[in-house]
Structure 1
């Protein structure tokens, strides 16, 4: 038998968005990830989604606020039009607070669910609000792969960018669950990260990332963070599995990171300055 052909997919990171505990933006977060400023884990502060019409803004929960914030930051940094970008949205569970409120309503005596709660309960809610906010009409993929959701989204976005020869926006996000769901799914806070990935290098490029091998998968252990507080974030919020990748970009270092994906296989990503 002949060996399968080696597949290598390379894209360039054109813009990054980041919001999470103690991380107010990519500019703020990159300083902390690079070790230029201390990291303190304080509760996530979510900006109001001012790009939405007033009616939609009133309905927006944490998932919408964080995904729009990081998506717009990444697109602005890339100098591109959000309306023209295909997108990939990925989350391990969507809106935890909304899920809690629906479960509470179903457990009450009247069992009536607010139309707004139902409207926001679908897994593609963030993608829909992004389209409303930016006027984006290209294709949008919405994924969920439990704790491997960031890697699943990254793999999808890189593949789309290379195959379709176009920049693609990746948005990954997770929010906390209130009790009693929190005891079963203990995500402590909200975090979102967005990457604009392009098949071509530009003057704005921040890094070059490559998936090597047949499928990009590796049995090597997942890469961890040296800072204990950042490692806690990586372990407890699925979207924060992106932190080792972001740290290399912030430090402008070349290395291979293994990002959590499947139970016994990680996604191997080669990172280098552009």
Structure 2
């Protein structure tokens, strides 16, 4: 198993307005109310870029900003993994409508927003980041693919990494072919060694499939099943609960990710680590 640590979390989804506000919901202390997702504006982006940014970029920046703040990390110094099951369907739909019309002049802004790594570009503008970024897509398993990539990079570089997963629903008629349930984003700041902000230790193993993936709380299970980025909910629930537990995430058709979660001991992480 590969060991790593969670330093910060960012969360934005329907009725989930930030990590701290969502912890009581994830732990069942407060009833879940699935209100429309409120994506806050990113003050780091210059005004022109804020106007041009697609919803995927705004969502990615909202959750990554929260996670980096919780970790006490400067986002400009963090390598970042961006993962989404389908990117910005709204922009793709707009482009297809333009191309199907008699007026086929395509906006350069629409074009550059359509590429899968557009949120990574807005991240670099907003934060001044010069570290490497990676943009992934693995259909319904995009969160698990992003987590596996982030852990692999940590293991090979010894550096902390930001993992940013996000999805937005496609408009009609694309929604009929690829239904995504809700606007949902999550970010994790992961580190290969414990630090002052580290509040949980995780051990990850990629194993042959066969095990049933972990479910979310009954009120959140529909969100987990219909929104690929929300496949993170069992992990987020375990982190919010603050108890030692295990989580299984499905990955592709024949594998699973096994995660063992250990909360930080009251006295802190032991030195040296066992």
> What TM-score does the superposition give when structure 1 sets the normalisation length?
0.93
Aligned to 1:52: 45
Match of 2:228 in 1: 238
The one of 139, 163, 173 equivalent to 2:132 is 139
Tell me how far 1:224 sits from its aligned partner: 0.7
Work out the CA distance in 1 between the residues paired with 2:199 and 2:193. Answer: 12
Q: Say which of 30, 36, 39 aligns to 2:32.
A: 39
Q: Contact 1:216/1:269 (CA < 8 Å) preserved in 2?
A: no
Aligned equivalent of 1:271: 261
Cα deviation code 1:148-194 (max 9, x no counterpart): 00000000101111221111000000011011111111113211000
Conserved 8 A contact 2:208-2:254 = no
CA distance in 1, matches of 2:217, 2:65: 29
1:188-203 equivalences in 2 (<5 Å):
188-203=181-196
SS at match of 2:220: helix
RMSD: 1.2
In the TM superposition, what are the counterparts of 1:14-163 in structure 2 within 5 Å? 14-163=7-156
Q: Distance in 1 between matches of 2:175 and 2:92?
A: 11
Count of aligned residue pairs for this structure pair: 264
Which residue matches 1:4?
none
Residue deviations 1:243-266 (CA, integer Å, cap 9, x gap): 000000000122221112112322
Q: Which moved more, 1:172-181 or 1:30-39?
A: 30-39
Partner of 1:68, secondary structure, is helix
The match for 2:179 among 180, 186, 196 is: 186
SS in structure 1 opposite 2:203? strand
Q: Structure 1 114/139 Cα, relative in aligned 2: closer, same or farther at 3 Å?
A: same
Unpaired runs of at least 5, structure 2:
265-274
Measure, in 2, the Cα distance between the counterparts of 1:49 and 1:104. 29
Q: Counterparts of 1:80 and 1:234 in 2: how far apart (Å)?
A: 29
**Residue 243 of structure 2, aligned match among 246, 249, 253:** 253
Unaligned runs of 5+ residues in structure 1 are 1-7
Q: For the Cα contact (< 8 Å) 1:218–1:258, is it kept in 2?
A: no
What secondary structure is seen at the aligned counterpart in 2 of 1:219? coil
Once the two structures are TM-superposed, the CA of residue 218 in structure 1 deviates from its matched residue by 3.7
Q: TM-score, normalised by structure 2?
A: 0.93
1:95-152 Cα distance to aligned partner (Å, 9 max, x none): 1111111111111112222111101001000011001000010111111100000000
